[in-house]
Amino acid sequence: MKIWKGFGSEHSMNLVMIGKFRSVADAEKANRIIELITKQVAIDTDSGALTIGTRPERYTDGMMALFRELNVYDLNTAEVEQFAYDVNVKHSQDTVSVTTDESDVSGYLKILVAEGARVEVFSAHFYKEKEKKEKEAVQE
């Protein structure tokens, strides 16, 4: 069971972000980076080193070590919190798709772009058919 740790608003974004990469390996790498950052945020939150809803002045030691290992230096301390929100990330072939009701997704965008993706972002409220086709493509 996933526990929602984000803060809500009156309107959900129903946001879809699709990163299309030049190769499957690039997509796999971006997906792995997102997985590892998400895992580290959960560790930091569970240990009390990171409190969701507060803007930390510094990264945790674990996050700094991970950033060095992954060669990721573009995320600011506020963006790290985004990886604790209820976000669905799917990887298929040369594509990584992110769906969420959140509007703060700059951390995900930075990872996708830094790893070479061409990124499309839209609201599935307005483009339902496109989202359906993209979800089917990712599930294949």
Nearest to 108 by CA among 44, 59, 11, 37: 37
Q: Is the pLDDT of residue 9 over 60?
A: no
42-96 pLDDT per residue, tens: 999 999 999 988 888 899 999 999 999 999 999 999 999 999 999 999 999 999 9
Per-domain boundaries in the chain: 15-139
Pairing of strands 15-20, 87-92: unpaired
CB 95 within 8 A of CB 72: no
pLDDT of residue 125: 78
15-33 pLDDT per residue, tens: 999 999 999 999 999 999 9
- The residue with greater pLDDT, 140 or 84, is 84
Q: Does an H or E element contain 101, and which?
A: none
Distance, CA of 61 to chain centre: 21
Please report where in the chains the tokens 């526990």 appear, as a residue.
3
pLDDT of residue 56: 85
Q: Is the pLDDT of residue 131 over 70?
A: no
Task: Please tell me which of 3-7, 8-12, 38-42, 120-124 the model is most confident about, judged by mean pLDDT.
Answer: 38-42
- The residue with greater pLDDT, 85 or 6, is 85
pLDDT of residue 93: 96
Q: Is the pLDDT of residue 130 over 60?
A: no
